[in-house]
């Protein structure tokens, strides 16, 4: 999606970093401070720890800003069998699983196992969270709102497609479980529309507030 990928090559493992997807959660820095050190250049030095440990910590990154490639024949990151979406309190949606992000025309924008999607509506790198929710004091309980009618769900695994609609919700197609900030399963299904503008009164589900806001703006300009 046009984002620059930085490479940090070690003897046994290469770590990849996308700055636009980093929200400074700090899993890497707390997990391996010798390898991941913000005040140092280069800030990632893979050879300062065992490759297995570097890979493990990279996979803790909930935004997908960090990935890796083994050079020693070690295991690559597995693709999760089930798709989970966590509504972070006052924060983004964390997706983990086998998913693909597409634009409204069906063009693939990203295939990944981890990502953080903005739901405050203010990200400068949409649909990815860039931490703007902190600056604007975005408020959300992380509790799952009233779920839409459940669709027949005989699937427990498979690819999840996330369709990004301009000025609209995230359209989910495929099996997934929606988790509250406490980790409780609040909804499981194969179809849903999740809010991306931060105005839904039934978060994380879309309630059409983006449409009403857009209509109000057009009326004010006429």
Domain spans of the chain, in order of start: 6-70, 84-215
Give the confidence band of 16 by pLDDT, cuts at 50, 70, 90: very high
CB 164, CB 103: distance < 8 Å: yes
Q: Is the peptide bond before 187 cis (omega within 30 degrees of 0)?
A: no
* Fold match flag (6-70 vs 84-215): no
CATH classification code of 6-70: 3.30.70.20
Q: What angle do CA 160, 19, 121 make, to 5 degrees?
A: 60
- CA pair distance 92, 128, nearest whole angstrom: 9
Q: pLDDT confidence of 87, banded at 50, 70, 90?
A: very high
Examine the pLDDT at 151 and tell me if it is beyond 60: no
Say what the pTM is: 0.91
CA distance 51 to 103: 36
CA distance 73 to 200: 47
Q: What percent of the chain has pLDDT over 70?
A: 91
Polymer length of the chain:
222
**What is the per-residue pLDDT for 148?**
73
Q: DSSP 3-state assignment of 128? A: strand
| CATH no. of 84-215 | 3.40.5.90
Backbone φ and ψ for 48, nearest 5 degrees, come out as -85, 5
Give the least confident one: 95-99, 105-109, 127-131, 155-159: 155-159
Regarding beta strands 185-194 and 13-17, do their DSSP bridges make them parallel or antiparallel, or are they unpaired?
Answer: unpaired
- Cis peptide leading into residue 46 (ω within 30°): no
């Amino acid at each position: 999606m046009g984002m620059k990928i930085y490479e940090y090559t070690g003897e046994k493992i290469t770590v990849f970093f996308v700055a636009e997807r980093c929200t400074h959660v700090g899993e890497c820095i707390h997990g391996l401070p010798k390898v991941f050190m913000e005040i140092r250049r280069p800030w990632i030095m893979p050879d300062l720890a065992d490759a297995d440990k570097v890979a493990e910590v990279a996979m803790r990154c909930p935004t997908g800003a960090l990935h890796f490639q083994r050079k020693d024949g070690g295991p690559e990151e597995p693709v999760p069998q089930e798709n989970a979406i966590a509504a972070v309190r006052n924060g983004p949606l964390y997706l983990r699983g086998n998913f693909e992000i597409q634009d409204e025309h069906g063009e693939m924008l990203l295939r990944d196992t981890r990502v953080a999607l903005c739901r405050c509506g203010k990200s400068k790198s949409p649909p990815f969270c860039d931490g703007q929710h902190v600056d604007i004091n975005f408020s959300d309980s992380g509790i799952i709102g009233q779920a839409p009618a459940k669709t027949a769900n005989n699937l427990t695994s498979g690819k999840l497609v996330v369709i990004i609609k301009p000025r609209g919700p995230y359209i989910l197609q495929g099996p997934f479980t929606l988790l509250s900030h406490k980790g409780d399963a609040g909804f499981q299904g194969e179809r849903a529309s999740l809010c991306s503008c931060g105005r839904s009164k039934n978060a994380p589900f879309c309630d059409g507030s983006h449409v009403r806001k857009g209509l109000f703006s057009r009326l004010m300009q006429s």
